[in-house]
Amino acid sequence: MEVQAVSVNQVFLSNRILKIPFFQRGYVWNESNWKQFFDDIANIASMTVGDEEPEVYFLGSIIIKNTGMKGKQQYDVIDGQQRLTTIVIFMKALCLAMGRPDLFTRDFIRMSLDDKIEPILITNYYNQQVYNNIINLEVLHREPIESDNRMADAFAYFANRILDAKNPIDGSNAIKPAQLYSAVMDYVRLVCIEVQAGENAQKIFETINCTGIKLTTGEMLKNFLFDETLVDRYERTWKRVFENENNDYWERDLTNGRLSGSHIENFFYRYMLIKMQEPRIKKGLTLNETKSYRQKGGQFEKFRNLINKFGIEKDDAVNEIVEYARIYLNVFKSETLNETCIQHPGVERLAYLMFMQDSWTMTPYILYIIKTVASENERNRIFKYLEIYLMRRIICKSKNNNYSDMFSENLIGQNINTFDTFKEYVNDETNRGALLMPSDEDVVQAVKTNDLKRDSKVILYMLESRINDNFASSDFNNDANTFEKVQVMLENDNGKWPSAKGYTEDQRHVLTRTLGNFTIIREKLKSKFKNADWPIKRDAMKLGSADMELCRIFTQGLDHWDESVIEKRNSWLAGKILDAWPR
């Protein structure tokens, strides 16, 4: 790796091609970036007018890697496309304003061996047409040459700032385009990092690029899997799934247990866990590779190494990634929690549960089942039993040690893809240990004694949507975001609610945090009702839940609420749970 501070002329050498990877993210700098750039250059130019020697201005770093064949000086721009593109756009506007297009040709255009004239900096798929139009302009325009295009907006911004600086109307000192030109050429420096053969350019980029816009696994893989000869294939496959109207979805952040990230990072991480279970790959990975690939982070390098090591055809890789991505996109819809959870068991209910829990560990197995099990009926049977398994474990607060292994290495690696084999697997008392399906006795005991305050909304909502035949067709809005969790008897009510005979203070405290002391209602309970007397609070809760199966107790005129009522409701809820999610 060679590192040196270089001038603009030293970057844009006439015998060099600087090529932004064809499917690299497009130009994204905005007005705040352009303003800072122009103001800094204008400040340097102003200092030179007053015979003051400016300091060298460091614009930032660029990372390039020589990819030329047979001595050809062609470099891929690993990092720095925003800075380099901005320099070219700015200097094009500047040279036109000076009436010296020949300077731009001299500094930023090259003549190839076959007498072809082309820019030294070659941009990518997303900006190619607009960039070339700007390069070929003969007249300076104040208006963008194309609407809704960041690069065209940048050129128009610089054109206006250059012309306004030349003829200021606010009384400030004029700055001539030639002075701006000299400021760039004489004082701007870039830290150029040239990656040598055998060095990991992406690792260097990740280490150095702390403030830049981080590329996603998808963007890096796209550049690896496609080039300019495969545009049609890219547009027929990758672009339709990962870009256009789906772009916002993939970039949306989601909670992922203790981790965080976007849908696209979650997808590629879970897809890797599936891919690792293919017999040929599973057998060929070293222990260190297996351990590394199962960890989140650095997915691009892992996929690239996997594809290269096992000789996976890039077309095959694209087809499989796109197929799994379509499944993911169709299952884990962004609007899930804004819709009512359906009653019929299937993948929709699992997705609903996962969004409510912010838990994505089950993703690999769900994608695997949808892709490999042709029968919709068989898939639904598996997903129904998976819901039973998950809900029982939530209620029992079961330990999730090796949970990730179960939904990838164990279930997928052992080809557990039928209802019978899945049911047998989770009920295998000899081998499952902490991952065993909780028994009916476990569930009943958990409902009666477990502190379920945190998960009560999830449990009650999923149960209501399962047992209420009218839930999905109700006139009410029944999406999960509509509902609020309510603790009926507070843990500390300052003695306002009498205690039932025979219960200690500790027993009362435990019972207030069991499932039977919680409900869900459609409207947030006002503060004045939270610690009100029972009849007042009962009537307030009734307004938002009268049609719900689990809340009928509040419509029956019950004249008190104490420990004995909670215990009875716990027993009643346990029965409903066993009916809804039978082992």
Residues 6+ apart with CB under 8 A from 310: 280, 281, 284
Tokens of 289: 């590779």
pLDDT at 464 over 90: yes
Q: What does the radius of gyration of the chain's CA atoms come to, in whole angstroms?
A: 32
Q: What is the DSSP string of 40-75?
A: HHHHHHHHHHTT--PPPEEEEEEEEEE--STT--EE
Instruction: Kindly state the tokens that stand for 79.
Output: 């990092």
Edge-first strand listing for the sheet containing 74-79:
2-7, 188-195, 57-66, 74-79, 17-19, 121-122
% of residues, the chain, pLDDT over 70: 93
- Is the Cβ–Cβ distance between 77 and 64 less than 8 Å? yes
Q: For the whole prediction, is pTM greater than 0.85?
A: no
Q: Which residues pair with 122 in a beta bridge?
A: 19
Helices 563-580 and 505-512 cross at an angle (nearest 10°) of 40
Nearest to 394 by CA among 443, 331, 433, 345: 443
Is the pLDDT confidence value at 551 over 60?
yes
Helix or strand holding residue 188 (H, E): strand 188-195
Minimum mean pLDDT among 34-43, 176-185, 544-553: which range?
544-553
Query: CB count, 10 Å around CB of 367?
Result: 24
- Please state the domain extents for the chain: 2-215, 218-329, 335-438, 442-580
For the cut 70, the answer to whether the pLDDT of residue 373 exceeds it is: yes
The CA-to-CA distance between both ends of the chain, in Å, stands at 61
In the chain, % of residues over pLDDT 90? 61
Mean pLDDT, residues 305-311 taken together: 94
Strands 121-122 and 109-111: unpaired
**Nearest Cα to Cα of residue 121 among 104, 145, 137:** 104
Amino acid symbol at 232: D
Question: Is 71:58 a contact under the CB 8 Å cutoff?
Answer: no
Residue 459 confidence (pLDDT) above 70: yes
β-strand pairing of 188-195 with 253-256: unpaired
User: What pLDDT score does 199 carry?
Assistant: 66
In the block, residue with structure tokens 């004082």: 187
For residues 334 and 262, the answer to whether their CB atoms sit within 8 Å is no
CB count, 10 Å around CB of 495?
7
